[in-house]
A and B are shown apart, each in its own frame.
Chain A
Amino acid sequence: MDILILLIPLSLVIVGVIAWVMLWAAKSGQFDDLEGPGHSVIMDDDNPPKPDDTPKV
């Protein structure tokens, strides 16, 4: 049972990390469009590349 003394604080740290990841995801717009990206995977890239497709340096 003594291990719990280590595990409980550790779980708090992990929850903290996950919370930080979730907030980051929300802030960076990961939840803004929950459908579009799913479709974009199956779209063919037959169209000529857009000018802004070139990597920005």
Chain B
Amino acid sequence: MSHSPGLTDAPSFSGCFHCGLPVPDGAHYPIQFEGQTKEACCRGCQAVAQTIIDSGQGAYYTHRTVLPATPQQAEAELAQLGLYDLPEIQESFVRTESEHIREAALILENIVCAACIWLNERHIAGLPGVLSVEINYATRRARVRWDNSRIQLSAILKAVSDIGYIAHPFDPGRSDDIYKRERNTAIKRLAIAGLGMMQVMMYALPTYTATDMTDEIRLLMRWASLILTIPVVGYSAWPFFIGTWRDFRRRTLGMDVPVALGVGTAFVASVYSTFTGYGEVYYDSVTMFVFLLLTGRFLEMNARRRAGAAVEELVKLIPAATTRLPHWPARDEEQVPVARLAVGDHVLVRPGETLPADGEVVEGDSAVSEALLTGESLPVSKSVHAKVVGGSLNQASPLVVRIDKLGADTRLASIVRLLDRAQSEKPRIGKLADRAAAWFVGLLLVITFFVGLAWYLIDPSRTLWIVVSILVVTCPCALGLATPAALTTATGRLTRLGLLTTRGHALETLARATDLVFDKTGTLTHGRLSVRRVVPLGGRSAEDVSQIAAALEAGSEHPIARALREAAHATVTASDVRNTPGRGVEGTVNGQLYRLGSPRFAAGGEAPPESDGSASWVALAEENTLIAWFALADTPRADAPAALAALQRLGLRLHLVSGDAEAAVKATAQQLGIEEWHAGALPEDKLAYVKALQQQGRIVAMVGDGINDAPVLAGAQVSIAMGEGADVAQAAADMVMLGSRLATLGEGVTLARKTQRIIRQNLGWALGYNLIAIPAAALGYVTPWIAGIGMSASSLLVVLNALRLSDFKQSAVAATIEARPSLASSR
């Protein structure tokens, strides 16, 4: 557009100013536009138009050449958009960050290529009040943060529809519908292109081979081919033209531009020669590469869906309806949609059903599988007072659960939100590729022009053919797809293994990490005492003394008491138990008086068998005779040795920096084969330790509990929080371990490295392909239909390569996951 059209030469639509439908008699919905009063047909159109004008986008009306696609929906659409501003409606998909800052997950319709993402991101980010926007190509999900005091959500949704896309609040059901609809359209386009291609080939082949064909027959075949090619170009290839037109209006160069130019040029040239009888026809090539391109896109669409499946599966974990017990403990039941539950409601979850939200068990005793949430394959036993997580599956017997958290506050919702964020943030290499892709198209058009010119001088009859080949053979899509496809697949797979990625750069940095620092003994141990050694004296059996100790401690909640109780099943009972706080207990078992406690209390000050400080010793005395010693210590997790060995095999240097006493830290480090350890470290010391490592050029990954150690975690290049039980959303870390399986760390590093490799392969392929294909096409070695195959195969290959990441298996270490269900389940 060389001049900016004023109101006078704007396309004039009679009827409604906004939608073009006739204005009914008696309707009066005036709109002020550039000093003139315009009429709208209904309140909906009036409001839409007024919003567009008020937001300074009135240019839409002077520049638009087509009317809104679905004018009759304007009112319904607007009514719905307005609804999205209501707090009750927002509750399900909007997170309130602070007083005004809101964040929502949206899903976009009509996204066909990476350029659409770019356009939407730029457009939304340009709205005043929008703080950030990130869109994931693979899942078409967008995360928008905005300041509610400056812009309303409906205005953002409207802005998206202004540029020809549709944004909805994310809802898995709807996302399925959208996918179905898009797939259906794609199949129809593909079917038309396929039929057209086959039949045009039938006409084309004889004209190449037959020698005795009369001119009439030849002409007839040309016309028949033309008739068949019209729907292929006009319907099947339509999305390419729409995309190009959109780019043209926005003055950008997208991925559709070369394809549309190629198809358009070849088709117009063929039509010209059909009418004039002068020159060649290319109908066979046109139909064939439209078909091949659509096949490629169709396969890519399916692969992309598989890549983004992880998030969708998580979201779908929450059932649609549940059984509420409105008058619990009375047993009357009612079926309600999960959306209508309120905090404090009691729900009945039968075996085989999924928990609808987070809560606390108030009745029942069952085993619950959290496999999809934490990667932990063994069911966890839950009884009264146990916390349960929405999305986990009840396996054994009915549970009554009081709902504590709903909707966007649940653990599952935080997981999905963080995963979304990670998947839509692009690491550096991805951003670079995006910029390159945009330049690439421009450069390509310039190259094509000069190559065309050169061939026109050398051999005019081949010019058109070669120009079309160059336009079609190039594949900027592969460049734009290479990174997001791999990242989405990898982060999805990792989440299933129990390691949640919350930041886009996390995988890239983890792949390069050289040092892994554990900032707490509790990360590698259970964080609570257990009996490590029993030393019976005076001919007593270990079994015997353990039982007596367990009986004495039956009523105490002290950590030592719990450890002693877990070590033996008390078959005897103690009576007259007296507790002396800080020292021990005494009581009568089978008529004998026993004392259990500190050496001074029970052993008369006698020294324990060992005293290096790595364990605490408890003495048991019968009357005044010492009969046993118990060594209690915090024990490493059962899977820690194997998991750490796996990390060392990956070439990582392990460090343990803990605030605990030296002896305990030393013992843990030695047991686990960690060579570098520091005890008694304050948070500042930990941070200094990390900084010192970084100054040596090491790349530090830090593993901590995520909430108390935020500054230390933030100091490391990549941080991993133990999210077990804690609020996932609060964990200020780049990655969160959802379960307690330490093996996920090794799997995470392996998968991260594999992801980097695949991203590099993808980018290498995309670059290499174009570097070879363009010169080959320019020299005339590539026919348009080979070009079509080449381009489709190129982008498909990139996505399929990324999908290899989803086959990543749990490591062998994982097979030995906590072979001690009693420990895992007693939480």
Name A's B-contacting residues (CB within 8 A). 1, 4-5, 8-9, 11-12, 15, 18-19, 22-23, 26-27, 31-32
Determine whether B199 belongs to the interface, using a CB cutoff of 8 Å to chain A: yes
Which residues in B have their C-beta under 8 angstroms from that of A8? 203, 220-221, 224
Interface residues on B, range: 20 to 34
Spell out B's residues near A (CB within 8 Å).
180, 183-184, 187-188, 191-192, 195-196, 199, 202-203, 213-214, 216-217, 220-221, 224, 227-228, 231
Residues from chain A with a CB closer than 8 A to the CB of B216 are 5
Q: Is the CB of B191 within 8 A of A15?
A: no
Q: Are B214 and A19 in contact (CB under 8 A)?
A: no
Contacts of B192 in A (CB 8 A): 19, 22-23
A1-B217, A4-B217, A8-B203 given; A15·B184 CB < 8 A: no
Known: A11-B199, A11-B202. A4 touches B220 (CB 8 A): yes
Known contacts A8-B203, A15-B199, A18-B195: A23-B224 contact under CB 8 Å: no
Residues of chain B within 8 A of A9, CB atoms compared: 224
Could you tell me the distance between the alpha carbons of A11 and B228 in the complex, rounded to whole angstroms? 11
**By the criterion CB–CB under 8 Å, are B184 and A31 in contact?**
yes
Q: By the criterion CB–CB under 8 Å, are B224 and A26 in contact?
A: no
Give Cα distance in the complex from A25 to B214, angstroms. Answer: 39
**CA of A31 to CA of B191 in the docked complex: distance in angstroms?**
12
A23 to B183, CA, bound (A): 13
Whole-angstrom CA separation of A40 from B65 in the bound complex: 50
Q: List 17 A-B contacts (CB under 8 A).
A: A1-B217, A5-B216, A8-B220, A9-B224, A11-B199, A15-B196, A15-B199, A19-B192, A19-B231, A22-B188, A23-B191, A23-B192, A26-B184, A26-B188, A26-B191, A27-B184, A32-B180
Q: Given A1-B214, A5-B220, answer yes or no on A15-B187 (Cβ-Cβ < 8 Å).
A: no
Q: How far is the CA of A11 from the CA of B227 in the complex (A)?
A: 12
CA distance A27 to B196 in the complex (A): 19
Q: Which residues in A have their C-beta under 8 angstroms from that of B221?
A: 8
Residue of B187, B196, B199, B220 touching A26 (CB-CB under 8 A): B187
Chain A residue nearest to B220 (CB atoms) is A8
* A8 vs B558: C-alpha distance when bound (angstroms): 93
Q: Which residue of B lies closest to A18 (CB)?
A: B195
Q: Which residues of A contact B224 (CB under 8 A)?
A: 8-9, 11-12
In the complex, what's the smallest C-beta–C-beta distance from A7 to chain B, in angstroms? 10
* Beyond A15-B228, A18-B195, A22-B192, 19 additional pairs, beta carbon < 8 A: A1-B214, A4-B220, A5-B216, A5-B217, A8-B220, A11-B202, A12-B224, A15-B195, A15-B196, A15-B199, A19-B192, A19-B195, A22-B188, A23-B188, A23-B192, A26-B187, A27-B184, A31-B187, A32-B184
Q: Which residues of A contact B196 (CB under 8 A)?
A: 15
Measured CA separation A1–B214 after assembly (Å): 9
A17: min CB distance to chain B, Å: 10
Bound Cα distance from A26 to B183, whole angstroms: 10
Neighbouring A residues of B188 by C-beta, 8 Å = 22-23, 26-27
Q: Are A12 and B195 in contact (CB under 8 A)?
A: no
Minimum C-beta distance from A50 to chain B (A): 19
Listed residue (B180, B184, B187, B224) with the most chain A CB atoms within 10 angstroms of its CB: B187
Smallest beta-carbon distance B677→chain A, Å: 54
Contact flag A22-B220 (CB < 8 Å), given A1-B214, A11-B199, A15-B228:
no
Cα A20 to Cα B216 with chains together (Å): 29
Would you give the shortest CB distance from A18 to chain B, in whole angstroms? Answer: 6
Instruction: Report the minimal beta-carbon distance from B349 to chain A, rounded to whole angstroms.
Output: 25
> How near does chain B come to A15, taking the closest CB pair, in angstroms?
5
Give, as a whole number of angstroms, the nearest-CB distance from B332 to chain A. Answer: 26
Nearest chain-A residue to B185 (Cβ)?
A: A26
Q: How far is the CB of A33 from chain B (nearest CB, A)?
A: 10
| Minimum C-beta distance from A28 to chain B (A) | 10
Given the complex, which residues of B lie within 8 Å of A27, measured CB to CB? 184, 188
A5→B191 CA distance, assembly (Å): 27
Return the chain A residue nearest B200 by Cβ: A15
Closest 3 CB pairs of A and B: A22-B191, A26-B188, A26-B187
Distance in angstroms from B395 CB to nearest chain A CB is: 24
Please name all residues of chain A whose beta carbon is closer than 8 Å to the beta carbon of B213 when the two chains form the complex: 1
Q: A11 to chain B: which residues have CB within 8 Å?
A: 199, 202, 224
| Nearest opposing residue in chain B for A22, CB measure | B191
* Residues in A whose Cβ lies below 8 Å from that of B220: 4-5, 8
Taking CB atoms, residues of chain A closer than 8 Å to B195 are: 15, 18-19, 22
Please report the C-alpha to C-alpha distance between residue A1 and residue B216 in the assembled complex, in whole angstroms: 10
Chain B min CB distance to A22 (Å): 4
* Shortest beta-carbon distance from A21 to chain B in Å: 9
Tell which of B183, B184, B191, B217 touches A19, judged by Cβ atoms closer than 8 Å.
B191
**Residue among B180, B195, B203, B231 having the largest count of chain A Cβ atoms under 10 Å:** B195
The residues of A that contact B183 with a CB separation of less than 8 Å are 31
Q: Closest Cβ of chain A: how far from B227's Cβ, in Å?
A: 6
> Which residues of chain B are within 8 angstroms of A1 by Cβ–Cβ distance?
213-214, 217
A18 to B340, CA, bound (A): 49
Distance between Cα atoms of A5 and B214 in the complex (Å)? 11
A12 vs B231: C-alpha distance in the bound complex, in angstroms?
13
CB distance from A45 to the nearest CB of B (A): 23
Q: How far is the CA of A11 from the CA of B203 in the complex (A)?
A: 10
Nearest Cβ in chain A — how far from B132, in angstroms?
Answer: 37
Contact A12 B227 (CB under 8 A): yes
Please, which residue of chain A has its CB at the minimum distance from the CB of B196? A15
Q: How far is the CB of A57 from chain B (nearest CB, A)?
A: 30
Residue of A nearest to B221 (CB): A8
Residues of B within 8 A of A26 (CB): 184, 187-188, 191
Residues of B within 8 A of A32 (CB): 180, 184
A29 CA / B826 CA spacing, docked (Å) = 50
A27 to B180, CA, bound (A): 11
For the complex, give the distance between the alpha carbons of A27 and B217 in Å.
Answer: 37
CA distance in complex: A23, B196 (Å):
14
